């Protein structure tokens, strides 16, 4: 494939799947400036690695997630950054909003609170489990999650089960359930 054709193919695939880049950047970077930097670094690494992409071995989105998550985890672990969650920590008020519907709140407000709580919980996870949850919430099959993260399907299922139990336990402890 000629260089121009290769570049056009890459640009088309990147445009088609660009939300993966932004989603990963949002999960691993603290503020808008860092998210932009991380998204650019992911895109640059995708381009540098594009020659190694083999569509017979993986779908582009699977390969893209793998590259994006590797870049994001390295970015988060770099000397000037920490893996500390960029979202506010969970507290009783947050988890109470997950525990059950509150008729005094507007439904959209409640949904927003639940999303904020889930994001805070995800932000409190280590880098691998954060990636795991991100892919799970994307409705990726266990086989694809395993391929992206380089772990077995059984390990995916076990880790997800433990994460769900941890979230339930935290919600239950704070709500008295």
What is the pLDDT at residue 123? 81
What is the pLDDT at residue 68? 94
What is the pLDDT at residue 60? 93
150: left (phi over 0), alpha (psi -120 to 50) or beta: left
Provide the residue count of the chain.
Answer: 177
Q: Per-residue pLDDT for the chain (177 aa), expressed as one digit of tens each?
A: 688 999 999 999 999 999 999 999 988 887 889 899 999 999 999 999 999 998 888 889 999 999 999 999 888 777 344 444 444 444 444 334 344 444 444 555 566 666 777 777 888 888 889 999 989 988 899 999 999 999 999 999 999 999 999 888 876 665 555
Q: For residue 156, how many other CB atoms are within 10 A of its CB?
A: 23
Q: Is the CATH number 1.20.950 carried by domain 1-84?
A: no
pTM attached to this predicted model: 0.65
85-177, what's its fold? Arc Repressor Mutant, subunit A (1.10.10)
Domain boundaries, the chain: 1-84, 85-177
Euclidean distance between CA atoms 148 and 64, whole angstroms: 9
What is the pLDDT at residue 107? 58
Euclidean distance between CA atoms 177 and 174, whole angstroms: 8
């Amino acid at each position: 494939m000629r260089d121009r054709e290769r570049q056009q193919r890459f640009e088309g695939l990147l445009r088609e799947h660009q939300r993966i880049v932004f989603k990963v950047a949002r999960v691993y970077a603290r503020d808008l400036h860092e998210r932009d930097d991380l998204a650019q670094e992911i895109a640059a690494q995708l381009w540098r690695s594009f020659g190694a992409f083999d569509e017979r071995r993986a779908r582009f989105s699977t390969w893209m997630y793998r590259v994006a998550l590797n870049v994001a985890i390295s970015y988060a672990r770099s000397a000037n950054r920490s893996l500390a969650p960029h979202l506010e920590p969970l507290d009783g008020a947050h988890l109470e909003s997950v525990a059950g519907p509150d008729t005094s709140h507007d439904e959209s407000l409640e949904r927003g609170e639940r999303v904020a709580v889930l994001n805070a919980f995800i932000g409190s996870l280590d880098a691998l489990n954060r990636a795991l949850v991100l892919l799970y919430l994307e409705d990726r099959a266990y086989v694809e999650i395993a391929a992206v993260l380089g772990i077995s399907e059984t390990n995916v299922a076990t880790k997800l089960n433990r994460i769900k139990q941890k979230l339930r336990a935290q919600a239950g402890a704070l709500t008295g359930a």
